Amino acid sequence: MPNRPLPRFPEPDTEPFWEATKRGELAYQQCNRCNSLVFTPRAHCDTCGSPDLAWKVSKGEGVIYSVSVVVDRNGDYAVAYIDLDEGFRMFSTVVGVDEPMKNLQCGQRVRVEFEPQEESEYLIPVFRLV
Amino acid sequence: MPNQARTAAIVGIHEWPKRLDPDVSAMQIKAASISRALDDAGLTWKDVDGLYDANDGEGGGGLGMAAYLGIKPTVIDTTSVGGSSYEFLAAHSLADIAAGKCNVAVMAHGGKTATQKFATGNRFANSPQPPSWQSNMEVPFRNTTVSSYALVAARHMYQYGTRPEDFAEISATTRYHAMRNPEAVQAMTDLLFADIREITVDDVLNSRMIASPLHLLECCLISDGGGAVVIAAADVARNTKKKPVWVIGNGQATKYRENGGDVTVSAAAQSGPIAFGEALLRPDELDIAMIYDSFSITVACILEDLGFCKKGEFGDYVKGGRLRFDQKGGPALNTDGGALSSNHPGFRGLFLLMEATRQLRGESTSQVPGAKLAVAHGNGGLLGHTHAAGTIILAAD
Ligand SMILES: [Zn+2]
């Protein structure tokens, strides 16, 4: 089972996002005043300043905006910006790809998957090519 | 307010010569550099009435620095925006001098990054204590400093058809200049570079991959070092030892990740037009471009964003060595060797101001004959992520 570095708490902006991962949900926020999407999570709308935000659940499908493969002695791994279809951009990774440096590119479709961790009840949202 | 007025000028500089210096503190580097930069100007410790600090070294910001130096300035400014801090501080000193709040401003940098073996490369970026709204959304994915920039480079390639050799030309150009700078050559020797010589585009592409598409020779080195800059009011500057180098334009900006944003556009797209507008100049009129070269992609984006070429076209622009000091058709880029091949103790923005000053005085080791106009552009934080941009336009009489 993977053992990634984990988010730490208390951290009030991001805690609801991570709680939602336990339910297999990729959560984002929308402003009730101006309808703007808010991501990454915070307690105010970064378009109009309103504190009145609603939590929504993403379908978890999107496209790779950019991707880099980090060369690491414990195995190369990808980092990526994912543009979710709802319109927010998330920093994550793409897993399950042979030779990621060759086979991962901007523009590829991906879907979220919630990866259990050895030492945490939070699930980490990672992406796979579809 | 258009400002080609000669309000304040860089009148003194000192660059710490060593890049590996285990026996000094960062504070000692800062204080000794201020003393030598004042000597360079023909000014004294007692003349200093403005202290501008980036909160680097062992510290305390402007407050701690005033106590360490033993001065009681009338202006203390502690602006810490990473590598662009000194472009912000220079702009603030200009405004304070114009407002009559001080006459002789000093700013210094000291860093011990090499001695402390502080890995700024594939270290995880943004993992502060305690956790933050940003770090908690990033740490599980093991983002690093290099991969933050690599994500911009990868998108640049996808969006504009940029080729790896386009980025590599920037590394080859800065090394061409570094090999003419004895302090940079000594730096590469002290920092145990394997093969110290001019490099080709192929050398860069054959160096090992760090985070795709960025190779080792596209990443800045990690050094000790520092320096100091003295900026003075016009009536002081007219009577100092060296030719004054006037600050004739400045702009500052920030940029950060946004939903739907374009990571290939940096904050320079905002700070550059403000600075060039104040200076009443176009980029193609400049002789010297000192651009923060933390990575090859940093220079690529900033050249485009400042308007030296169209967005996405830096590859054609830099082709054939156009930005080397002995070539025509463009400004000379990072003529001291830059962060890629000379030094990077932490906040490199100060060195951009220093080498631009050397060029406009005629003192560079890769001197452009008759250089009159320069831009120094600092980028702090992480390109493509949360970053700050400071653009300073400098002119010789
Ligand atoms: Zn709103």
Q: What is the mean pLDDT of chain B?
A: 95
Given a contact cutoff of 8 angstroms between Cβ atoms, the answer to whether B283 and B308 are in contact is yes
Q: How close is the Cα of B228 to the center of ligand 1, in Å?
A: 45
Interface test with B, best of A68, A91, A110 (most B CBs within 10 A): A68
Give distance in angstroms: CA of A41 to centre of ligand 1: 13
Would you say residue A112 lies in a domain? yes
Q: What would the pLDDT profile of B170-198 be if each residue is shown by its tens digit?
A: 999 999 999 999 999 999 999 999 899 99
B189 located within any domain: no
Q: Is residue A5 part of a domain?
A: no
Calculate what percentage of chain A has a pLDDT beyond 70. 100
Rounded to the nearest angstrom, the distance between the alpha carbon of A53 and the centre of ligand 1 is 8
Q: Give the position of tokens 């004895």.
A: B182
Distance (Å) from the alpha carbon of B192 to chain A's nearest alpha carbon: 22
Asked if the Cβ–Cβ distance from A66 to B155 is below 8 Å, we say yes
pLDDT digits (tens, 9 = 90+) for A62-92: 999 999 999 999 999 999 999 999 999 999 9
More confident residue, B389 or B125: B389
The average pLDDT across B316-325 equals: 96
Q: Indicate if the pLDDT at residue B95 is higher than 90.
A: yes
pTM check: above 0.80: yes
Which of B134, B151, B208 lies nearest to residue A79, judging by beta carbons? B151
C-alpha span between B215 and B25 (Å, rounded): 32
Give the structural domain span for A44: 15-129
In a domain, residue B39? The reply is: yes
Residue B256 alpha carbon to ligand 1 centre in Å: 18
Picking from B141, B208, B210, the nearest residue to A93 by CB comes out as B141
The pLDDT value given to residue B123: 54
> What's the mean pLDDT in B130-137?
94
Query: Which residue stretches of chain A have pLDDT < 50?
Result: none
- Kindly state the DSSP code that residue B295 receives in the 8-state scheme: B
Contacts of B68 (CB under 8 A, 6+ apart): B27, B31, B60
Per the structure, the count of domains in chain A is 1
The per-residue pLDDT for A2 is 83
Domain harbouring B367, CATH code: 3.40.47.10
* Chain B hits for A11, Cβ within 8 Å: 130-133, 136
Q: Does any domain span residue B21?
A: yes
Number of domains forming the structure of chain B: 1
Residue B25 lies in a domain: yes
Three-state secondary-structure class, residue B185: helix
Provide the H-helix boundaries in chain B.
Answer: 26-41, 61-69, 85-98, 145-160, 164-178, 182-190, 201-206, 234-237, 268-279, 296-306, 314-318, 338-341, 349-361
With contacts defined as CB-CB under 8 Å, which chain A residues touch B138?
Answer: 91
A67 and B151 within 8 Å at the Cβ level: the answer is yes
Identify the domain containing residue B105 by its residue range.
8-116+222-396
What's the CA gap between A36 and B178, in Å, rounded? 49
Q: What is the CATH number of the domain that holds A61?
A: 2.40.50.840
Residue A8 resides in a domain: no
Report the DSSP pairing between strands B50-53 and B75-78: parallel
> What per-residue confidence (pLDDT) applies to B5?
79
Q: How far is the CA of A35 from the centre of ligand 1 (A)?
A: 6
Give the mean pLDDT of chain A.
97
Assembly ipTM: 0.98
User: Nearest C-alpha of chain A: how many angstroms from B123?
Assistant: 11
